[in-house]
Amino acid sequence: MGDAEYPKVPRSTINRYRPRGKYDYQTIHSIVNSVPVVHVSFATPDPEDPFPAALPMIGFLASFENQSASLDDALDLYLHGYVSSRLMKMGKEGQDEEGLPITVAATHFDGIVLALTPNSHSYNYRSAILHGYATPVTEVDEKLWAMEKITNSVVSDRWDNTRVPPNKTEMTSTQILRIRIVSASAKIRAGQPHDERKDMKDEEMRKRVWTGVVPTWTSYGEPQAGPDNLAGTVPEYVKSFVKKANENGQKRAHEAMVEPKK
């Protein structure tokens, strides 16, 4: 595992529960590349509007320049959307030369941590926040490569099992944004409930209040063929994807229950 880290700048520094903060590529990149949805936010062009715009999107980290890059290498974030959307329009007009400043949040919910008192309750989670400049991908090669990456990030091996390559209309109507990341951090909570010393001394109360963890993960159910499907039963690569996704999800949620070493 590499040691490369994002720079620790004020906007990315974890101040509350400092030991939960992580800045290394590997940790941050693996969180982003395993969530089904990221939340993107950015200032709107209307100076009268004080509310950032926010959108759920599909995103994926990879490197077009260094296609054999692993999760502990420098990567760009690719986001999938439509030219007609506000974000894509703004990325296109490129507010400044660097691109549109955006913040991306990716969160895994790994479990509910039930302590003696509501104030000590917590979640087990892995969250990452990334800051970067978004510009639209204009090169056909890079765009096609990113479309394939994003499709296969949703269901492994899906791209080659569909009607590809995209036609001219599809290439035009689909917009891919590349985000050059300038800062990022992750925050991870794992392990068992922790209670205040005073509560731990109250044995009568402790006999009454159950403490522990409820593990949580994203389940993928039985794939169901659509009404227009002519391709028979569920193909092996889809079955295998569903099986692995469930196994990994359960595994991570259960690993998160293990108290981390100090």
- What minimum distance in Å lies between the beta carbon of 156 and a second copy? 12
Rule CB under 8 A: say whether 226 interacts with a second copy. yes
What's the closest the beta carbon of residue 3 comes to a second copy, in angstroms?
Answer: 25
Task: For residue 137, give every residue at least 6 positions away whose Cβ sits within 8 Å of its Cβ, in sequence order, or none.
Answer: 78, 143, 146, 175, 176, 177, 178
- The answer to whether 123 and 113 are in contact (CB under 8 A) is yes
Give the interface segment with a second copy, choosing from 22-30, 59-67, 68-76, 127-135 (CB under 8 A).
127-135
Rounded-to-integer distance, Cα 42 and Cα 167, Å: 31
Q: Residue 172, interface with a second copy (CB under 8 A)?
A: no
CB of 4 to a second copy, least distance (A): 21
Closest approach, Cβ 252 to a second copy, in A, equals 11
* Residue selected from 45, 66, 225, 244 as contacting a second copy according to rule CB under 8 A: 225
Chosen residue from 2, 4, 8, 52 binding a second copy by CB under 8 A: 52
* Using rule CB under 8 A, residue 154 touches a second copy: yes
- How far is 130 from 70, CA to CA, in rounded Å? 18
Q: For 64, which DSSP code? A: S
Among 28, 75, 91, 131, the residue binding a second copy under the rule CB under 8 A is 131
Cβ closest to a second copy, residue 73 vs residue 199: 199
| Binding test (CB under 8 A) with a second copy, winner from 200, 240, 248, 260 | 200
Q: Is 101 in the site for a second copy (CB under 8 A)?
A: yes
Could you say which residues in the range 180-199 bind a second copy, by CB under 8 A?
192-193, 195, 199
Sorted by sequence, the CB contacts under 8 Å of residue 14 that are 6+ apart come out as 20, 21, 185, 187
Cα 234 from Cα 224, distance rounded (Å): 8
Q: How are beta strands 53-62 and 100-114 bridged, if at all?
A: unpaired
**Is there binding between residue 82 and a second copy (CB under 8 A)?**
yes
Secondary structure element (H or E) that encloses residue 126, with its range: strand 122-136
CB closer to a second copy out of 72 and 108: 108
Q: 103, 41 in Cβ contact below 8 A?
A: yes
Contact call for residues 77 and 130 (beta carbons, < 8 A):
yes
Q: In the complex with a second copy, which residue's Cβ is closer, 70 or 239?
A: 239
- Give the total of residues touching a second copy (CB under 8 A): 105
Write the Ramachandran bin of 150: left for phi over 0, alpha for psi from -120 to 50, otherwise beta. alpha
260 binds a second copy per the rule CB under 8 A: no
CA dihedral (8, 12, 15, 20) positive or negative: negative
Q: Is 123 in the site for a second copy (CB under 8 A)?
A: yes
Q: Is 159 one of the binding residues for a second copy (CB under 8 A)? A: yes
Q: Does 53 bind a second copy (CB under 8 A)?
A: yes
The nearest distance, CB 166 to a second copy, in angstroms, is: 6
Distance, in Å, from the CA atom of 42 to the CA atom of 49, rounded to the nearest integer, reads 12
* Site for a second copy contains 49 (CB under 8 A): yes
